[in-house]
């Protein structure tokens, strides 16, 4: 019995798409497009769905698990752009992250799900309508690289909490990009771009260098205790500000195309002081009407677990269910763990 190669190819592509969705949360068209037929037909056997024909030869995956099969297929794909990170994820999955092998059902935990929030740090008080455009292209960039979740700054966040009007405008910006621009209609609209792939390689290389350096310090906690993380962020912030002040980095309205004696017309949010009074009254009523014995018991359990090696999350959830407040819960943790104070200066 023979099966047309188009049918086999569709099965190959469908399989790889499923694996990529598990590992990355979306397809990577650049890798998938390189799986192409090399013969006109194949004999149908019970293993026909485990033998894949690619530009680089035949990938025989009989006897392999789904993740191993994915690795073998990608190894035989011509396009190298997505191999390194995929292989790293697959190897991690096969090794179980040091906790034993896992199967495809557990590989979902390796999915590269990420949220993007546009950068409030680049918003300006000067000519703040320009912030609408800044936020729009930041959001567009996030969508182009496949973010699963997105939140946008409002134009007035350089100066205050957003007003209802500015927050609505930020929401509409996101909705316009999603439903009118068309950029969300394609899985990987920048796939195959030499420039983008070069930047991707650069980010991966520099990320690995950071991870290696932090590992040598003893891990993330040790790096924080040594002040490394804070130093890196502070240094970047200082250099960024220096570039603006020197004119090396252009910020419209700040160091270029400045409007002298600019009048500020944006209506900033004015918080009614009565809001605080109402909130304190609600908190007072809550403490009077809740089961305070249950609260004390739950907080005592939080303290007990905090002193142990147990997972603290379940007891935090139980404390919240008794209507223990965030301040009360944090107060217990503060007494047990103390407060963090940076011992190392940023510069």
Q: pLDDT tens across 16-66, in order?
A: 445 444 444 444 433 333 333 332 233 333 333 444 444 444 556 566 665
Structure tokens at 264: 């500020």
Of 12-21, 241-250, 290-299, 306-315, the one with minimum mean pLDDT is 12-21
CA-CA distance, 190 to 343, in Å (whole number)?
A: 44
Question: Among residues 71, 36, 32, which one has the least CA distance to residue 57?
Answer: 36
Cα dist. 133→91, 138, 190, 266 in Å?
Answer: 41, 9, 21, 16
Q: What is the pLDDT of residue 263?
A: 83
Overall average pLDDT of the 137-163 stretch:
90
Q: Which residues contact 131 (CB under 8 A, 6 or more apart)?
A: 123, 124, 153, 155, 156, 157, 158
Please name the residue that has the structure tokens 């182009």: 144
Percent of the chain surpassing pLDDT 90? 46
| pLDDT tens-digit readout, 324-340 | 999 999 999 999 999 88
Q: What is the pLDDT of residue 111?
A: 58
Contact 139, 51 (CB under 8 A): no
**Helix segments in the chain, DSSP class H:** 5-24, 29-32, 66-75, 83-95, 104-107, 130-144, 164-179, 194-217, 220-225, 228-246, 274-289, 292-306, 313-321, 326-337
């Amino acid at each position: 019995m023979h099966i047309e190669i188009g049918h086999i190819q569709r099965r190959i592509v469908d399989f790889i798409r499923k694996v990529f969705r598990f590992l990355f949360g979306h397809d990577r068209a650049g890798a998938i497009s390189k799986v192409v037929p090399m013969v006109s037909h194949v004999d149908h056997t019970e293993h026909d769905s485990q033998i894949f024909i690619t530009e680089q030869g035949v990938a025989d995956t009989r006897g392999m698990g789904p993740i191993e099969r994915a690795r073998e297929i990608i190894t035989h794909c011509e396009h190298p752009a997505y191999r390194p990170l995929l292989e790293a994820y697959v190897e991690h999955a096969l090794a179980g992250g040091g906790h034993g092998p896992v199967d495809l059902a557990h590989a979902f935990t390796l999915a590269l799900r990420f949220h993007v929030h546009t950068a409030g740090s680049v918003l300006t008080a000067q000519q703040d309508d320009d912030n609408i455009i800044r936020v729009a292209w930041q959001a567009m960039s996030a969508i182009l690289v496949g973010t699963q979740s997105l939140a946008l700054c409002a134009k007035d966040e350089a100066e205050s909490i957003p007003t209802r009007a500015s927050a609505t405008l930020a929401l509409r910006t996101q909705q316009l990009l999603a439903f009118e621009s068309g950029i969300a209609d394609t899985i990987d609209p920048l796939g195959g771009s030499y420039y983008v792939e070069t930047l991707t390689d650069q980010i991966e290389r520099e990320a690995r260098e950071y991870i290696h350096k932090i590992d040598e310090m003893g891990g993330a906690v040790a790096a924080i205790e040594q002040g490394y993380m804070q130093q890196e962020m502070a240094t970047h912030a200082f250099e960024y500000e220096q570039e603006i002040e020197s004119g090396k980095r252009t910020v419209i309205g700040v160091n270029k195309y400045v409007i002298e004696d600019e009048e500020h017309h944006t209506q900033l949010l004015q918080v009614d002081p009565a809001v605080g009074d109402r909130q304190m009254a609600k908190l007072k009523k809550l403490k009077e009407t809740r089961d305070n014995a249950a609260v004390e018991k739950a907080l005592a359990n939080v303290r007990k677990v905090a002193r142990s090696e147990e997972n603290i999350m379940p007891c935090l959830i139980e404390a919240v269910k008794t209507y223990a407040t965030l301040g009360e819960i944090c107060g217990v943790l503060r007494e047990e763990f103390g407060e963090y104070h940076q011992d190392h200066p940023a510069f």
